[in-house]
């Protein structure tokens, strides 16, 4: 059989057509596969859901531990220059260990990375965000997990971060014993009556004061109980936990304040005893009860906030 030039053109055209059709078919099949595999991934998200829930649940404790590690660093006498980065670093370390447990428990591959450590509307809680990647049988799943970690029960890092371990601050009996540390700081900053703050004390652990609204502190027995239990109070002027780690007595975030209790027979005007005043704002107050060695030294606006008046009714 002899093929003429016309036949060649026909064979050639058919060949091009077949190749084109093949390419289109391959493209369509690949696309369908791709779409199907995406569907599988979406469907299987529900299968990953219980792993993700379990993981989120564990993040609260791990987050708290990571914050506490940063606090421990301060208590070891080392500075925390950027508390968010420090906590993220601690978090990644803890997550690495925890990921291995999850891999064993669920037979999956897990990797994760701390994304952010942020303040929340409540100064008692810190928001942690973690990117979580899970893989099983070539099916991949990614999610960003958010969880609040409470700072209640952790130590207040501000006194040590601010005054350093070399200042002679001691911690025992659930209290910070300032010894000569605040007096020394006040002399350095040329503040009035530094000797009033010799042997001053403050609570060591963050505890939220239950006497809300705070004006109840003027009710019989409330202030005494608040000081005995060592409660902290919400305050727009006081610094947040993250800034406390960095030794900042004041910050732009919504934070908390605590009374630094003096134990002195002196009745001199001296720094008002809210910790943001002692460590940053530096304005004076007077003893609520001049006859009481343990009386708080407070300015008029803090007296108003806590419903406390002096003997002279101020
Ligand atoms: Zn209180
Ligand atoms: Zn802050």
More confident residue, 19 or 54: 54
pLDDT bin (cut points 50, 70, 90) of residue 20 is confident
Cis peptide before 213, with omega less than 30 degrees from 0? yes
pLDDT higher than threshold 60 for residue 284: yes
| pLDDT value for 10 | 78
pLDDT digits (tens, 9 = 90+) for 213-263: 999 999 999 999 999 999 999 999 999 999 999 999 999 999 999 999 999
| pLDDT value for 30 | 76
User: Which ligand ends up closest to the CA of 223?
Assistant: 1
User: Which ligand ends up closest to the CA of 117?
Assistant: 2
Query: What average pLDDT is seen over the chain?
Result: 92
120 C-alpha to ligand 2 centroid (Å): 11
This prediction has a pTM of: 0.84
242 C-alpha to ligand 2 centroid (Å): 6
> What is the rounded average pLDDT of the residues 131-151?
94
| pLDDT value for 4 | 62
| pLDDT value for 34 | 62
| pLDDT value for 2 | 54
| pLDDT value for 19 | 85
Q: How far apart are CA 250 and CA 243, in angstroms?
A: 8
| pLDDT value for 43 | 44
User: Which ligand ends up closest to the CA of 245?
Assistant: 2
Burial 254-266, CB ≥16 within 10 A → b, else e: bbbbbbbbbebee
17 to 11, 20, 30, 47: CA distances (angstroms): 10, 5, 20, 45
Burial of residue 71 (number of CB atoms within 10 Å: 0-12, 13-18, 19+): buried
pLDDT digits (tens, 9 = 90+) for 82-133: 999 999 999 999 999 999 999 999 999 999 999 999 999 999 999 999 999 9
pLDDT higher than threshold 50 for residue 42: no
pLDDT bin (cut points 50, 70, 90) of residue 40 is very low
pLDDT higher than threshold 60 for residue 195: yes
User: Which ligand ends up closest to the CA of 253?
Assistant: 2
């Amino acid at each position: 059989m002899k093929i003429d030039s016309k036949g060649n053109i026909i064979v050639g055209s058919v060949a091009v057509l077949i190749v084109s059709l093949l390419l289109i078919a391959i493209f369509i099949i690949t696309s369908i596969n791709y779409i199907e595999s995406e569907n599988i991934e979406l469907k299987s998200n529900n299968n990953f859901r219980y792993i993700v829930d379990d993981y989120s649940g564990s993040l609260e404790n791990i987050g708290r531990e990571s914050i506490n590690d940063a606090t421990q660093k301060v208590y070891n006498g080392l500075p925390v220059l950027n508390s968010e980065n420090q906590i993220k670093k601690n978090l990644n370390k803890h997550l690495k260990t925890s990921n291995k447990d999850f891999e064993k428990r669920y037979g999956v591959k897990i990797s994760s990375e701390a994304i952010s450590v942020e303040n929340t509307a409540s100064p008692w809680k810190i928001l942690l965000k973690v990117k979580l990647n899970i893989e099983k049988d070539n099916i991949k799943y990614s999610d960003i997990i958010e969880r609040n970690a409470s700072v209640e029960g952790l130590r207040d890092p501000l006194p040590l971060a601010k005054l350093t371990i070399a200042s002679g601050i001691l911690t025992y009996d659930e209290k910070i014993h300032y010894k000569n540390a605040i007096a020394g700081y006040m002399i350095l900053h040329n503040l009035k009556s530094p000797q009033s703050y010799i042997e001053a004390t403050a609570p060591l652990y963050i505890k939220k004061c239950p006497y809300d609204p705070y004006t109840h502190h003027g009710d019989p027995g409330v202030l005494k109980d608040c000081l005995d239990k060592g409660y902290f109070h919400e305050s727009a002027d006081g610094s947040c936990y993250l800034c406390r780690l960095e030794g900042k007595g004041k910050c732009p975030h919504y934070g908390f304040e605590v009374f630094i209790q003096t134990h002195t027979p002196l009745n001199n005007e001296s720094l008002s005893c809210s910790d943001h005043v002692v460590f940053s704002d530096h304005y004076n107050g007077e003893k609520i009860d001049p006859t009481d060695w343990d009386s708080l030294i407070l300015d008029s606006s803090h007296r108003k906030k806590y419903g406390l008046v002096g003997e002279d009714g101020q």
